[in-house]
Amino acid sequence: MPWIKSLNTQIFVAALLGIVFGVLLTQLAADSVIYQASMYGLGIASSIFIGLLKLILIPLIFTSIVVGVANLQAHAQIHRVWKVTLLCCLTTTTLAVSLGIICAHLFEPGQGLRIELFQQAMSGFEVKQQFSPSEFIGQFINGVLVNPFKAMAENNVLAVVVFALLVGAALVAGGPRYQVIHGFFKQSFQLIMQIVSWIMWLAPIGIFALMAKLIASESLDVLGSLATFAVVVTGSTIFHGLVVLPALLWIFGRMSPLRFFRGARPALITAFATSSSSATMPVSMRCAEQNLGVNPGVVGFVVPLGSQMNMDGTALYEAAAALFIANLVGMDLSIGQQVIVCLTAMIASLGAPGIPSAGMVTMIMVLQSVGLPAEAVAILLPIDRILDTVRTVVNVQGDMMISVVVQRFAGLDNAATQSTAAVQTTPSPPLD
C-alpha cells in the first residue's frame, strides 16, 4: 500500500498505536514485571529519539538560517522588491503569532492539567518569572550576545539564531567575495539534512514510545485537552486566513477578497489536499499570474521566496503550542518569555527544512527557547497531520497575497520584472 510509505502516515499510525498500548498498560499493576519492563523499554526508546533530536538541533538551526538569509544575495539587484516582500512577511507572521498567543490565553487549552512526565524533564530548569522591562531587556541582550561557540555548547537557541542571522547578513553584504563560504554553508546544511532524514526514520518508533509512556503514566484527560487545543488552533488559523489576510489585502493591495479567493481557489484546494507548499508552488504561481493579474517577474520572485520565509499558519501553531505545553507542565510564562516565544516562532520558519515531519525539530527550538521540555512534541504529533492541512492553506494564501501587495508597491515595469524572473532561483522547499 503506497500510502503507508509516507512518513507522516507512519508517525500518525505509531501515535495511535502508542495510545492503545498505553491504555493497555494502565490495566496492569504498576509493580508488575510486564509493566516495569515495558516502561523501561519505552523510556530507552524515547530517550534515544529525543536525544538525537537535541543533538541535531543547534547545527540545523545555524546552517538553515545562514543559508536562508544568504539566499537573498541572489536578488541583490532588486532591492525594492525583496525589501517590500520581507516587510510583508514580517508583518503577516507577527500578526499570526500574536493571534496564536491571544487565542491560547483566551481559551487556555491544557489549563489545570499537570503532566508529571514533562515536569520531570524540567526538573533541572529554573527561571525567574517576573522581570521589569529594563531587567528583561538587559537579560535578553546578555543572553543573546555571547560567544557563539559557548552558546552552541549550552544549547542557547536565541544566541545561535542571532549569530546565524549576522553570518547570513554578512554573506549577503559580501556578495561574490564570499561565494566559497556560502557554498560551504549550503553543503553543511545538506549534510545536516541527511542526518536529519536518518533520524526521521526512527520517528515512528520514538513517537510510539513517547505516546505509550505518556498515556500509561498520565490521565486520559490529556486527550480531551489536546482536542481543545486542536479546535483553538484550527479556529484561529481560519480566522487569520478569512479575516486578517483579506483585510490586509484590501487595504494595501487594493484587491477585493472575493476576487482573490475566486482566483486563488485552485492553489488553496491543492494546498489542502497535499499539505505541502512546495508541491503547491506551481499552481500558486499560475493562479497569481493568470487569475490575479500579478506580473510574472514579481510572481517568480515572491512566491518561491515567500514559501520559504512566510509561513503564517506554522508560526501561529508553534506559538500557541508553546503556551499549551506550558499549561500542561504548570509553567506560567512571563510576558518576556512570551515575547521570546513569538520571536523564536517567527524565526523558526526561516529556511525551515523541507522534509516530512521535520516540524518537530523547529517545534523543539521554540519550546527550548523558554525551557519547556522537548519530550512534549509527542503530545502534538497525533494531531499535527490534521492541522497541517489548514495551516498549509494559510501559508499558500499568504504567499499569493503578498505577491499582489508587492506588485502595487514595488512599482516595477515589465522589463524590470522580467529581469527579476531571469535571476530568480528557487529556494529549498519549505516545511509547513
Q: Please state the rounded mean pLDDT for residues 344-357.
A: 60
* Phi (first) and psi of residue 100, to 5 degrees: -60, -45
The segment with the largest mean pLDDT, out of 129-143, 144-158, 350-364, is 144-158
Across the range 149-162, mean pLDDT stands at 82
**397-420 residue pLDDT tens:** 999 999 999 888 866 544 344 444
* pLDDT of 146 strictly over 80: yes
pLDDT, tens digit (0-9, with 9 covering 90-100), for 376-396: 777 787 777 778 888 889 999
- Mean pLDDT for the chain overall: 78
Above 50 in pLDDT, residue 302? yes
Instruction: Return contacts of 156-163, CB within 8 angstroms, 24+ apart.
Output: 157/57, 157/58, 157/61, 157/344, 157/365, 157/368, 157/369, 158/340, 158/343, 158/344, 158/369, 160/58, 160/61, 160/62, 161/61, 161/65, 161/344, 161/347, 163/62
Grid cell 501587495 is found at 405
* Rounded Cα distance, 362 and 257, in Å: 32
pLDDT one-digit tens code per residue, 21-55: 988 888 888 788 888 888 889 889 888 887 887 78
Where do the domains of the chain lie, and which CATH numbers do they carry? 2-423 (1.10.3860)
pLDDT surpasses 50 at 428: no
The rounded distance, in Å, linking the Cα atoms of 160 and 56 is: 13
pLDDT, average across residues 107-135: 58
Q: Provide, rounded to the nearest whole percent, the portion of the chain with pLDDT above 90.
A: 13
Q: How confident is the model at residue 7 (pLDDT cuts 50, 70, 90)?
A: low
Find the mean pLDDT for residues 240-265: 93
pLDDT of residue 78: 55
74-88, 211-225, 380-394: which is most confident: 380-394
Q: Is residue 194 very low, low, confident or very high in pLDDT (cuts 50, 70, 90)? A: confident
Q: Are 265 and 280 in contact (CB under 8 A)?
A: no
Reply yes or no on whether the pLDDT at 19 is more than 80: yes
